[in-house]
C-alpha cells in the first residue's frame, strides 16, 4: 500500500510500467511511451498514453477543485466512476470507453483511449450534425436507465447498486448545491453577465419557478428509478465520425431517469440559443426531438420485451388489464418527460448564472450580443419551469424567443 | 463465535447469564428467573424473562416460517429490527420498547419487557378506546417519518440509513409478494372463504384496480421518503392503559410515508368492518380521522420548525414564495394521503384473501356472517383502489357498505 500521490507524466509511466497487463497493451518499454495530459475538467487529472502497439487513458481524482485548491474534494469519486463504467459498459456495448483497470489506492482509472475524439460540445460549436449523435444518446439513456431500473429485474438485483452509489455523496452534493439550489439564492459562487441582473432577479422572485425547483429537489433525491450518469452534458460525450462515447460517470447515482434526459436536452437547447443561424437552429431542434423519440421508443421496447421477473407492473397480475398496462407505461414516460423538462431548465439556469458555466456562448463577439443570446436561453428555462410543455413538440416550440416573452419583458417593464 | 442455535427457555437463561449487564437487570441468579415463551408471529421466537428485580424481552429470528419449515428465512431480520429500534427510539421517546442489546451471532434482540400489555388488535376486539391510541400513533408516524426523511436533514445524513436498510431484502420480499402482488393473481398461498369467490374474481378482472396496484408497486419500491416501520398493523402495537408502544420493526426500510399510514388505517377499517355495533363503528371512524389529523398536524409542525439544513425546499430559496411553500407542503401531505389510501386497500385485501390473514373476523359466528363482514371490507378496499377519496372524511364515508355497492353487486348480478 502506497500513499496517494498526484500523478505527473513520469508518474503515469511508472504507474503503468508496474501493471503488467496495462504495460503489455502499450507495448515496448516505458521510455518508448508518450504521455499527453488532457485534463480539462475541474476535478481530475487525465492523461493519454501512447505506446508502441497500443494506447490508454489514465484518470486520477484530484484532492481539490482545480481552480480553487481551498475547495477540498474526497478522492473516492474515481471509484464511483469505475463502478459506473463496469456496470454500464455491458448494457450499452460500444457507447463507453472500455474499462481496463482501477487502482483504489491511487484512485486511478485506466480505460480505452479516445484519441481522435472531440467532445460533443466542441463538435456542435464547430457545426457537427447534432441529430445522429442525439439519436444514439437517446438509445444510450434508454438502455442504461431501463436495464438498471426496477422495471427490468427483481428489486434484490437493484438494491446493492442503490446502496453502493448512494455513497457517492461528494459529487451528489455538487448537484444538490450547484444545480438545484444556489442559482435560486444569493451565493458567492454564482456569477453572470451584468446585463442579466434584472432577469436573474425576476427569476428568483417568481414563486412558480421557486416552487418548481423545490419539487425538482424532491424528485432528484427521492426517486431512485435507475442508475444515472448524473452529468450527461455535451462535454461528457465524445464523438468521432459515427462513434459516440459517454465518459465521466463520476456523478453516477440512483435517481429519476428524467435527470439524465434533461441534462442532455439542456445542452442542445444551450447550443440552440447560442447560434443565430436559422438552419442550424432547426437542426438542433430536430436533434432534441430525435433524442427524445429514440429514448421513448427504445425504453418502451425494452419494457415490453425485457421485464421478466421484475417486481413492478408484474405481468401475471395484468392479464385482464393490458390496455391499462399500456396506459401506465405512457404515464411513466410522461413522468420522465416532466422531470426532464424541469431538470433541463435547472441545468440551463446553472450554466448561465451558476458556478460551472458552459463554453457554448464563448464564440459570440460582444458582451451585449452574448447577453442577448444568454437571455434567450434563460427565458426558455424560466418558461419551462413556469409552465411545463406537454410534449417534445411543445418543448421545441418554446425554443423560439417570442414564445417566452414574459421573462424577457417583465423585469424591464416593471 | 458460536454457531447459531434456536433458543429454548433454558437456552435463554444461559444466554442472559453470560451477559453481565442484562443479568444484572434481572437480578439474582439464573435459577431464580422465569422464562415465558410468547412467540405468536410467524418468523421469531419471543421470550419474556422475569428476574428478582427486573424483566426483559428476548427475541430471536427463526431460520424458517414457523408454520412452514420448508420456507427458509435468512436470520438477519432481527439485525434490521435492532437497527430500526436504535434509530427510532430517540425520535419517539416512550413509544417503543427500550433497546437493551443485540447479539449479531445468535440474532438475539433484547429489549424492555412489555408484560401487561396486549396487542392493539386484541384490545380493539375487546372494545378498547380506538381514538386515544390512534392519536398517539399519528404522532408516532409523523415524528419517525419526518425525522428520518430528506425533509429534516442534509441528504448525507439519510443515505447511510437508506443504504443499510435497503439490505433488508428478505422481509421486503414478503411485502412485495404477499401484499402487493400475490392477491391479484393465482397463487397457492392465497386463500379465502368460498363465499367470496365472485368478489375476488371481480377484483382481479377490474382493470382500474390492477392498474392502481401496479402504481403502488412502483411507489413502494422507488419512493424512499423516510424510514418506515414497514408492518404497522394493530398486532405490531402494544397498549396498556395510556401507554402505547410500537414493536416489531423487522420490516423496516426506506419507502413512501403513506405505507405506514395506510397499514394502520387498514387495520382500523378491518376492525370497523368486523363489528356490527353502530357506536363502535362510529368510534373506529373517529379513530381513523384522529390518526390522520394528528399525523398531518404533527408532520407539518415538524416541517415548519425542524427542517434546518435539509436539501429539500431549501428555505433560503423560498423567501419570495412562502405561499407556494405552504402549497407544496399541502401537496406533499396530499401525496402521502393518496399513497396511504392505496396501501390501506392493498393491506385490507391481503388480510382477507392472502397468505397472512387477520384475527379481526374470528369472533364472528357463522360462515355466512363472517363472509358478509369480509365482503364489506373487501368492497371498501376495492372502492379505494378504483376511486381514491380526496380526504379523510371521504375515506370514512366509504366505510358505509352502501357507498361501495359496485363491487358487492357486480359479481352477483352478471
Query: Which of A112, A135, A162 is the last residue before a domain boundary?
Result: A112
- Residue B52, Cβ density class (10 Å: 0-12 exposed, 13-18 middle, ≥19 buried): exposed
Domain boundary at B112, B127, B152, which? B112
Nearest-angstrom CA–CA distance, B157 and B103: 26
For A156, the closest of B169, B180, B312 (CB atoms) is: B169
pLDDT tens digits, B283-323:
999 999 999 999 999 999 999 999 989 999 998 899 889 99
Subunit contact B207:A321, Cβ cutoff 8 A: yes
Q: Looking at the domain assignment, is residue A390 inside a domain?
A: yes
- CATH number for the domain harbouring residue B227: 3.90.1200.10
The answer to the question of residue B4 being in a domain is no
Q: Which range, of A249-253, A326-330, B75-79, B404-408, averages the lowest pLDDT?
A: B404-408
Taking the Cβ of residue A335 and every Cβ of chain B, the question of whether any pair is shorter than 8 Å is answered with: no
Calpha distance B95→B88 (Å, rounded): 9
A151 and A37 both lie in a single domain: no
CATH code for the domain of A55: 3.30.200.20
- Counting one residue from chain A and one from chain B, the pairs whose CB atoms sit within 8 A come to 147
The rounded distance, in Å, linking the Cα atoms of A347 and A106 is 32
Q: What is the mean pLDDT of residues B105-121?
A: 95
pLDDT at B387: 95
Look at residue A409 in the predicted model and tell me its pLDDT. 44
**A positions 71-90 inside 8 Å of B (CB):** none
Confidence category of residue B144, pLDDT binned at 50, 70, 90? very high
Same domain, B375 and B307: yes
B163-221 pLDDT, tens digit each: 999 999 999 999 999 999 999 999 999 999 999 999 999 999 999 999 999 999 999 99
Q: How many domains does chain B have?
A: 2
Find, in chain B, the residue whose alpha carbon is nearest to that of A207.
Answer: B321
Chain B residues with beta carbon closer than 8 angstroms to that of A320: 204-207, 210
Residue of B387, B142, B394, B91 lying closest to B261 (CA atoms) = B142
Check whether B233 has a pLDDT greater than 70: yes
Confidence of residue B118 (pLDDT cuts 50, 70, 90): very high
**Is residue B340 located within the same domain as residue B272?**
yes
Shared domain check, A190 and A93:
no
Q: Is the residue at A1 inside a domain?
A: no
ipTM of model:
0.93
- For chain A, how many residues are written? 414
CB half-sphere exposure, A82, CA atoms < 13 A: 21
Same domain, B248 and B341: yes
Are B156 and A173 within 8 A, CB to CB? Answer: yes
Quote the minimal CA–CA distance from A281 to chain B in Å: 34
Least confident of A291-300, A301-310, B1-10, B56-65: B1-10
State the best of A190, A310, A321 to mutate against chain B, taking most chain B CBs within 10 Å. A321
Let me know whether B101 and B129 are in one domain: no
Q: What is the pLDDT of residue A2?
A: 62
> What pLDDT score was predicted for residue A11?
96
Confidence of residue B69 (pLDDT cuts 50, 70, 90): confident
Which contacts (CB < 8 Å, 24+ apart) does range A176-180 have? A176/A217, A176/A220, A176/A221, A176/B155, A176/B311, A178/A350, A178/A354, A178/A355, A178/A356, A179/A346, A179/A347, A179/A350, A179/A354, A180/A213, A180/A216, A180/A217, A180/A220, A180/A346, A180/B311
**Within 13 Å of residue A242, how many CA atoms lie on the same side as its CB?**
2
Cell 419526518: give the residue: B146
* pLDDT at res. A216: 98
| Sole residue written with cell 484512485 | A107
Residues A305 and A397 in one domain: yes
Separation of alpha carbons B111 and B104, rounded Å? 15
In a domain, A197, yes or no: yes
Contact list, A317 vs chain B (CB under 8 Å): 181, 184-185, 204, 210, 213-214
Co-location of B85 and B220 in the same domain: no
Q: Please give the pLDDT value at position B74.
A: 87
Q: What is residue A242's predicted lDDT score, i.e. its pLDDT?
A: 81
Q: Please give the helix or strand (H or E) that residue A138 lies within, else none.
A: helix A131-148
Contact between B128 and B82 under an 8 Å Cβ cutoff? The reply is: no
Tell me whether residue A144 is in a domain. yes
State whether B210 and A324 contact (CB < 8 Å): yes
Range of the domain at A38: 9-112
Residue A3 lies in a domain: no
Question: Do B99 and B135 reside in the same domain of the chain?
Answer: no
Distance CA B377, CA B380 (A): 5
Same domain, A100 and A213: no
Q: Tell me, yes or no, whether A370 and A227 share the same domain.
A: yes
Same domain (yes/no): A173, A105: no
Calpha distance A322→B378 (Å, rounded): 24
pLDDT tens figures, B331-384: 999 999 999 999 999 999 999 999 999 999 999 999 999 999 999 999 999 999
Which of A112, A130, A152 marks a domain boundary?
A: A112
DSSP letter, residue B112: E
Q: In the structure grid, which three cell numbers stand for residue A358, read together? A: 458552459
Report the run of H or E that residue A102 belongs to, with start and end: strand A99-103
- Radius of gyration of chain B measured on its C-alpha atoms: 22
Interface of B with A in 370-389 (CB under 8 A): none
Each residue's pLDDT expressed in tens, for chain A with a length of 414 residues? 468 899 999 999 999 999 999 999 999 999 999 999 998 777 899 999 999 999 999 999 998 888 888 888 888 999 999 999 999 999 999 999 999 999 999 999 999 999 999 999 999 999 999 999 999 999 999 999 999 999 999 999 999 999 999 999 999 999 999 999 999 999 999 999 999 999 999 999 999 999 999 999 999 999 999 999 999 999 999 999 889 999 999 999 999 999 999 999 999 999 999 999 999 999 999 999 999 999 999 999 999 999 989 999 998 999 889 999 999 999 999 999 999 999 999 999 999 999 999 999 999 999 999 999 999 999 999 999 999 999 999 999 999 988 776 644 444 443
Which residues does B157 contact at the CB level (< 8 Å), separation at least 6? Answer: none
Amino acid at each position: 500500500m502506497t500513499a496517494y500521490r498526484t500523478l505527473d507524466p513520469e508518474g503515469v509511466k511508472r504507474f503503468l510500467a508496474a501493471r503488467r497487463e496495462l504495460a503489455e497493451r502499450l507495448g515496448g518499454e516505458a521510455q518508448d511511451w508518450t504521455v499527453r495530459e488532457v485534463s480539462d475538467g475541474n476535478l481530475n487529472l487525465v492523461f493519454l498514453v501512447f505506446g508502441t502497439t497500443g494506447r490508454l487513458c489514465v484518470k486520477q481524482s484530484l484532492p481539490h477543485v482545480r481552480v480553487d485548491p481551498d475547495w477540498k474534494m474526497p478522492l473516492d469519486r474515481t471509484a464511483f466512476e469505475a463502478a459506473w463504467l463496469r456496470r454500464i459498459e455491458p448494457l450499452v456495448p460500444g457507447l463507453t470507453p472500455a474499462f481496463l483497470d482501477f487502482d483504489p489506492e491511487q484512485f486511478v482509472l485506466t480505460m480505452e483511449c479516445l484519441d481522435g475524439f472531440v467532445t460533443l460540445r466542441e463538435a456542435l460549436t464547430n457545426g457537427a450534425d447534432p441529430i445522429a449523435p442525439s439519436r444514439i444518446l437517446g438509445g444510450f439513456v434508454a438502455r442504461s436507465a431501463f436495464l438498471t431500473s426496477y422495471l427490468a429485474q427483481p428489486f434484490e438485483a437493484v438494491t446493492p447498486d442503490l446502496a453502493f452509489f448512494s455513497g457517492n455523496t461528494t459529487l451528489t452534493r455538487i448537484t444538490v448545491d450547484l444545480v438545484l439550489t444556489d442559482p435560486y439564492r444569493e451565493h458567492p459562487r454564482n456569477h453572470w453577465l451584468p446585463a442579466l441582473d434584472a432577469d436573474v432577479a425576476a427569476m428568483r422572485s417568481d414563486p412558480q419557478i421557486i416552487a418548481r425547483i423545490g419539487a425538482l429537489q424532491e424528485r432528484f433525491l427521492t426517486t431512485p428509478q435507475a442508475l444515472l450518469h448524473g452529468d450527461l452534458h455535451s462535454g461528457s460525450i465524445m464523438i468521432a465520425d459515427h462513434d459516440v462515447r459517454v465518459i465521466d460517470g463520476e456523478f453516477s447515482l440512483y435517481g429519476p431517469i428524467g435527470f439524465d434526459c434533461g441534462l442532455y436536452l439542456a445542452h442542445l437547447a444551450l447550443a440552440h440559443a447560442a447560434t443565430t443561424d436559422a438552419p442550424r437552429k432547426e437542426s438542433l431542434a430536430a436533434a432534441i426531438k430525435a433524442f427524445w423519440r429514440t429514448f421513448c421508443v427504445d425504453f418502451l421496447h425494452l419494457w415490453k420485451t425485457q421485464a421478466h421477473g421484475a417486481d413492478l407492473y408484474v405481468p401475471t397480475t395484468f392479464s385482464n388489464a393490458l390496455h391499462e398496462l399500456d396506459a401506465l407505461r405512457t404515464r411513466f414516460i410522461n413522468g420522465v418527460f416532466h422531470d426532464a423538462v424541469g431538470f433541463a431548465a435547472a441545468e440551463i439556469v446553472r450554466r448561465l448564472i451558476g458556478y460551472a458555466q458552459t463554453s457554448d456562448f464563448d464564440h459570440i463577439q460582444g458582451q451585449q450580443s452574448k447577453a442577448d443570446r444568454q437571455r434567450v436561453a434563460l427565458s426558455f428555462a424560466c418558461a419551462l419551469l413556469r409552465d411545463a410543455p406537454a410534449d417534445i413538440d411543445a418543448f421545441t416550440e418554446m425554443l423560439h424567443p417570442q414564445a417566452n416573452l414574459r421573462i424577457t419583458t417583465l423585469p424591464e417593464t416593471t
